[in-house]
Every structure is written in structure tokens, then in C-alpha cells.
Amino acid sequence: MLEAFKKPSFYIALILIIVFGIIGGLGQANIGSAQLVANGMDLMMWIGLGLAMAVIMSYAGYVSFGHSVFIGLGSFASAYLIAYKYSDYLIKVKMAHGGVLPAGTTIKFFIMALLLASVFAVVTAALVGYAVLRLRGAFFAIATIGLNYVVLYLVIFYLNNYIHSLEGLELGNPSMGLTNINFYWMHYVIFIITILVAYYVRVSKIGYGLAAIREDEDAAEIAGVDTFKYKLIAFIIAGWLASLWGVAKEFRGSFVATDDFNLLYSVIMILENAIGGIGSFTGPIIGSFVYYPLKWYTQTIAGVFALVILGILIILVVTFTPEGVVGILRRKYPRLRKYLE
């Protein structure tokens, strides 16, 4: 297993981990501006979500259009714990400590939220994957869109009938009393998990099997790949990773349970993979570095027209560079292949 992390293609992963570590360090030492820290967090999240999607879409060739459901499940898990189940307890602890939650409590609840999100995501992905991964191509994509709404309305039904909160769990939302840099390190932990898992899946035996499925599923089957099992593993991992980012979003934002079941997130994750190049680990990373600055500037300059620009970008990418940035680089510079896994 360690072999995988000694390949040259791991350099890019390592560089990212170091760079975002340095940004965090600058923020911690009050050298980096608040803006730098905020942008760093956003970028980590977009890279992380892009990689989560990559495991199923880019590695295995199955577009999970409703993948936002897993971000939503992560959000719901954290909101449930913090704004409902342990809300009173947290407020009491906060009072006892002069209005600030002790770091230990925050970390404990962060880990609890990650675990609960993981359970939700893995169970959902396993059940749903078992049912729909026998479908191919467009049918799978459509089924996952359905999944997103089914789970969203189940959550809303649960909230309305059992917790009596209409849209979410914003009531009793205890601010976790964290500074920006604390959020940054939370993102960073999830970022490292995502990078290591996504990279390992790509270069391991599973990654090769998934590549075979993506290229020609029948051929993979007659080459001895248990295609159904591999697809299911990929879908579970992709869902699990996305759910962790749902937790990060909630801790940083507010604990509203239903915010993140938004197909726009799926579109962006798909776009990042399409820009960067299908089939690679580096693809969605490059895709995020293209998408995020563009989004940031267009939002600043153009406001609501940012979405128009996003739409145009999708059309351009699909029309002119179906193989993506990594695809082009690999074709033009075969020597780069070993770095661009």
C-alpha cells in the first residue's frame, strides 16, 4: 500500500498538502490576510468536492448527477448533532466558559459530525448503489438526481414532523465561537483525507479496475473485473468524501440542515472534472484552479451573471476540450504522464 505513495504522481498531492499547510500557517501567524484564509478554504473545498466526484465520475465513468445529496447528508448530520441533539448541552458548556466553547469540545463535536456524516453517506450510497449501479450511463445519472430529491424531502419531512422546524435547524444554532483560522484547519483535515483517499483509489488495483470499466465495461467484465463490486466501492467512497465536505460547510457557515441538497454543487463538481480531464486524479484539481478564481472574480464583477458565465464555460469546455487540460497535456507531453496520474 505504501508503494502507491512513492510514485512521482504523488508529488502533486504532496505539493498541495504543503501549500495549503503554509497558507494555514500564515493565517495562524497573522501574516496572511483573512481574505487569503477564506480563499484557501474555498479552494480546498472545491478541490475536495471535485475529487469526491472524480472517484465515481472520472475514474469509473459514471456521472453521479445527484452527488449533492451526500453534501446534504453531511450538512444534515452536523446540523442534527449541533443545532438539535446537543444544542442545549453546547449552550450550557459555552456559558460555563464565558461564552466560548473550549477547543476540546469543538474538536469532539467536529469528529462526531464527521462520523455521523460518514455513516449516513456510506449507508445511503451502499443501498442506492446496490439498486442503481446496474444501470448504465445516462440512466444512472438520472437515478441519482432522483436520489437527491428523495433524500431532501425525507429530511424535510423528518424536520417538519419530528422537530417542528420548517426549513432547517437554524433555531438554537449555537455559534461554535470559532475564528476563521480554526475553520481553516478543519477544512485542512478533511482536505488531507480527501487527497490521500482519492489518490490511493486512483493508483491502486481498484483504480485500474475502474479505468477498465470506464473505457469498456463489457471488456472489463471479461477481463475478470467484478464490475458491480468495483462500481459500488467507488460510489461509496465518492459519497463518503462528499459528505465530509458537507460537515465542513456547516461548521463554517450556519447549521441549516437543508441548504446543501443543491444540484448546482453537482454541476460544479462535474464541471471541474470536465475542465481538468476525465480519468485522472490531477484533472479535478486543475479544474478547481480554473473554476474557483473565475467564479470569484465573476461574482465580484458580475454578480448574478456569474451563473451565466458558468453556463458558457460548460458549453465551451464540452465543445472544444472534451479531453480536458490533463488529457491535452498527457497527449502533447507524454513524459508528464508519470506526474499526472
Nearest approach, Cβ of residue 60 and other proteins (Å): 13
To other proteins, the closest distance from the beta carbon of 22 in angstroms equals 35
Q: Report the distance separating Cα 248 and Cα 265, nearest Å.
A: 14
Q: Which residues bind other proteins (CB under 8 A)?
A: 205, 208-209, 211-212, 215-216, 218-219, 221-227, 279, 334
Q: Which of 91, 97, 52 is nearest to 70 (CA)?
A: 52
Q: How far apart are CA 51 and CA 282, in angstroms?
A: 9
Region at 227 (left for phi over 0; alpha for psi -120 to 50; beta for the rest): alpha
CB atoms inside a 10 Å sphere around CB 63: 23
Nearer residue to other proteins within complex by CB, 88 or 226: 226
> For other proteins, which is the closer residue by CB, 167 or 226?
226
Here the cell at position 198 is: 482519492
Kindly state the greatest CA–CA separation across the chain.
65
Residue 44 and residue 119 in contact, taking contact as beta carbons nearer than 8 Å: no
Which one, 45 or 212, has the nearer CB to other proteins?
212
Q: Which three cell numbers stand for residue 240?
A: 463518503
Q: Min. distance of Cβ 83 from other proteins in angstroms?
A: 46
Of 213 and 285, the one with the shorter C-beta distance to other proteins is 213
For the CB of residue 7, give the shortest distance to other proteins in the complex, in Å.
14
Contact criterion met (CB below 8 Å) for 83 and 165: no
CB of 292 to other proteins, least distance (A): 27
Which residue's CB is nearer to other proteins, number 72 or number 324? 324
